[in-house]
């Protein structure tokens, strides 16, 4: 369903789902609005309640399933789980996210960096660990620094997550499951790098706490000083490159001081890109790409030249055209992950004076809209 009440967004037939075909039907007028058409940038995992998807420059919000058959099929197909990358593993967040996506086929439905208060940590842990003698140790492992919360989806997500994360105590994880995420990224004891929801029922409570009712009160981690903005463009998110790009930024000596996933409508995208309207010939295509699906906004700080963070970070992002980037700066982000001038993987702030302004657009203005 779309936010335009007269439209019904239909995805039908298992065979057709495999070729990413879609069709739109107007139930009020009782006519087909869009004949069945193949799309390159949409997959079955993109269709869930609350998702914003872009079809031929028209943004649609999915508000419900079209019928009970569809509800049952999709509910059986995908399971949502919460993964929190704890403060002790925050520097390896990009690598962990990439492992979840590339090695284990998880889809990241929602992402945000936050500083977890003790109250929120207790709320997250109460469902599974309430009354346990180690409850306080687990709560403490979630506080004291920045964390990244992820809503991930996959069939039987919790069963699989339990296996790949390993035992809760790091020493046990290293002894019993040496390749598990906690064995690889945990520090010691219950500072094990990762918190996961234990079941679909606990995930519902914990995801709501992190992304809904408690989200507004969670401390924002953005510094809004000597920082710049990076956007992982929707095509790169769709291609599963979010973790790789985040890891590359950190490997180049920068720090990701805030992060959140967003879906922009045309008004927001045009407002953000307004400075390029009269100077970039591809402006309209860039707007269309930015609103074509979820993006991940990153506040980037630190780096080799903190006083000139915008220009120093722009160096590692590379030229706008990935083909040129591959010739001039083959190790730059756009050279590594870009496709063309429109789908060049990463937006970064161009002008030194605009770094904090662009960060504020997402982490003060847009963060209060979603």
Domain CATH for 242: 3.30.70.141
Kind plus residue range of the DSSP H or E element containing 112: strand 107-115
Least confident of 20-29, 137-146, 254-263, 361-370: 20-29
Please give the DSSP secondary-structure letter assigned to residue 78: -
Domain span at 195? 78-217
| Confidence bin at 218 (pLDDT 50/70/90) | confident
Q: What is the pTM of this model?
A: 0.86
Question: Last residue of some domain: 44, 76, 108?
Answer: 76
Tell which residue, 230, 212, 245, 220, has the closest CA to residue 146.
220
- Is 213 among the residues known to form the active site? no
Number of folded domains in the chain?
3
Q: How far, in Å, CA of 263 to CA of 101, rounded? A: 20
Q: Do 27 and 126 fall into the same domain?
A: no
Give the domain-ending residue among 46, 76, 106.
Answer: 76
- pLDDT value at residue 3: 43
Overall average pLDDT of the 1-20 stretch: 52
| Distance, CA of 288 to chain centre | 19
Q: What is the mean pLDDT of the chain?
A: 89
Within-domain flag for 123: yes
**Sign of the torsion angle spanned by Cα atoms 123, 128, 130, 134:** negative
Annotated active-site residue in 48, 158, 195, 347: 347
Mean pLDDT across the stretch 26-38? 75
Q: How many CB atoms lie within 10 A of CB 194?
A: 24
User: For residue 289, what are its two tokens?
Assistant: 């790409």
Region of residue 167 (phi > 0: left; psi between -120 and 50: alpha; otherwise: beta): beta
Which residues, listed in sequence order, are joined to residue 10 by a DSSP beta bridge? Answer: 23
Q: What is the rounded average pLDDT of the residues 317-342?
A: 98
- Of 26-40, 50-64, 275-289, highest mean pLDDT: 275-289
Tens digits of residue pLDDT in 273-320: 999 999 999 999 999 999 999 999 999 999 888 889 999 999 999 999
Instruction: Identify the pLDDT of residue 11.
Output: 59
Residue 3, in any domain of the structure: no
Residue 15 is predicted with a pLDDT of 42
Ramachandran region of residue 193, left (φ > 0), alpha (ψ -120 to 50) or beta? left
Are 277 and 314 contained in the same domain? yes
234 pLDDT more than 70: yes
Question: Confidence class of residue 34 from pLDDT cuts 50, 70 and 90?
Answer: confident
| Band (362; pLDDT cuts 50, 70, 90) | very high
Is the model's pLDDT at 16 over the cut of 50?
no
Does residue 341 share a domain with residue 265? yes
pLDDT at 160: 97
pLDDT at 72 over 90: no
Across 75-102, average pLDDT: 94
Asked if residue 290 and residue 185 are part of one domain, the reply reads no
Quote the tokens at residue 139: 């709560």
Last residue of a domain, one of 18, 41, 76: 76
């Amino acid at each position: 369903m779309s936010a335009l009440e007269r439209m019904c967004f239909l995805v039908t037939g298992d065979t057709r789902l495999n070729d990413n075909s879609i069709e739109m039907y107007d139930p009020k007028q009782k006519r087909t609005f869009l004949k069945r058409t193949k799309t390159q940038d949409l997959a079955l995992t993109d269709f869930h309640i609350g998702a914003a998807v872009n079809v031929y420059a028209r943004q649609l919000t999915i508000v419900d399933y079209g019928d009970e058959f569809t509800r049952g099929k999709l509910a059986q197909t995908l399971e949502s789980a919460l993964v929190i990358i704890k403060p002790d593993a925050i520097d390896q967040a990009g690598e962990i996210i990439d492992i979840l996506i590339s090695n284990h086929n998880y889809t990241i439905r929602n992402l945000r960096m936050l500083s977890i208060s003790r109250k929120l940590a207790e709320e997250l842990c109460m469902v599974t660990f309430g009354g346990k003698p180690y409850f306080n140790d687990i709560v403490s492992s979630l506080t004291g620094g920045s964390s990244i919360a992820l809503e991930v989806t996959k069939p039987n997500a919790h069963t699989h997550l339990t296996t790949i994360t390993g035992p809760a105590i790091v020493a046990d994880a290293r002894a019993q499951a040496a390749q598990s995420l906690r064995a690889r990224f945990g520090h010691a004891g219950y500072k094990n790098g990762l918190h996961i929801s234990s079941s679909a029922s606990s995930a519902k409570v914990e995801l709501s706490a992190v992304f809904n009712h408690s989200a507004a009160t969670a401390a924002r981690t953005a510094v809004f000083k000597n920082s710049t903005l990076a956007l992982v463009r929707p095509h790169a998110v769709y291609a599963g490159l979010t973790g790789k790009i985040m890891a590359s930024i950190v490997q180049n000596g920068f720090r990701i001081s805030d992060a959140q996933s967003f879906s922009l409508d045309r008004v927001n995208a045009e407002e953000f890109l307004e400075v390029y309207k009269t100077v970039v010939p591809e402006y309209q295509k860039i707007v269309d790409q930015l609103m074509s699906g979820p993006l991940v906004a990153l506040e980037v700080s630190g780096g080799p030249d903190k006083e000139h963070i915008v220009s120093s970070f722009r160096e590692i992002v590379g030229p706008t055209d990935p083909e040129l980037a591959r010739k001039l700066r083959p190790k730059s982000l756009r050279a590594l992950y870009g496709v063309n001038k429109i789908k060049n993987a990463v937006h970064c702030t161009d002008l030194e004076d605009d770094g904090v302004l662009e960060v504020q657009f997402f982490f003060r203005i847009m963060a209060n809209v979603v």
